[in-house]
Amino acid sequence: MFHKEGFAIIRNTLTALIAIDGTAWYFAGGFNWMVNLLIFASVVFAMLVLQFFRNPKRNTVLNANHIIAPADGKVVVIEEVVEHEYFKDKRIQVSIFMSPLNVHVNRYPICGAVKYAKYHPGKFLVAWHPKSSIENERTTVVVENETTGPILFRQVAGAVARRIVMYSKAEDKAVQGKDMGFIKFGSRIDLYLPLDAKIKANINDVIKGGETVIATC
């Protein structure tokens, strides 16, 4: 199963690869080692594109006390910081780095009402750069419910990712584990949690979006 954000890219990629391989075969007068190598490289590239846009089903167990992972990847930051855009006070930042091999569907970490949703154009520093959260292309979404209070999460583009898709709009109803966006070709997501949140993740944990519990409130 593939994500809808990949349909056009998958179609165009496969069409271009077939055209290139067919042209090479025609002018070479059939198969030879160069044509075979080109076809092999095309198959590998096509498989990489297909795996990037995969959209596996996730078993999200709705729980008002749980803040679940908004994306697949590795936990690279857990620290107390000042969040300057929305809260303007101290929060616990949990950052998840997504490599090009991860599933890149982004999901709501909690149920609730979308209180804030904004897109910010910006730079394309590598996703682990300390300033990527405030200088890179990014989005900021805040969802609130009575149990957790407001939770902020931010999609951050990286050096390769050049296309952030955000579905959230202010006053939308967020459902835990459901799609809120997609980032194409590697990036990170930052969560900003209350200081009293009980963090369940650890640095270097490999987590699964829509299933892994990041914290409880």
Tell me which of 42, 132, 168, 187 is the catalytic residue. Answer: 187
Question: How far is Cα 75 from Cα 93, in angstroms, rounded to an integer?
Answer: 11
Q: Are the beta carbons of 5 and 103 closer than 8 angstroms?
A: no
Question: How far is Cα 153 from Cα 146, in angstroms, rounded to an integer?
Answer: 17
Would you call 187 a catalytic residue per the annotation?
A: yes
Question: How far is Cα 24 from Cα 38, in angstroms, rounded to an integer?
Answer: 8
Q: Are the beta carbons of 155 and 138 closer than 8 angstroms?
A: yes
Question: How far is Cα 175 from Cα 171, in angstroms, rounded to an integer?
Answer: 13
Nearest one of 124, 138, 42, 40 to 84, comparing CA atoms: 138
Question: How far is Cα 165 from Cα 184, in angstroms, rounded to an integer?
Answer: 8
Strand ranges (E), 121-166: 138-145, 149-157, 164-166
Is residue 29 classed exposed, middle or buried when 0-12, 13-18 and 19+ CB atoms within 10 A define those classes? exposed
Question: How far is Cα 120 from Cα 29, in angstroms, rounded to an integer?
Answer: 52
Active-site residue set: 187
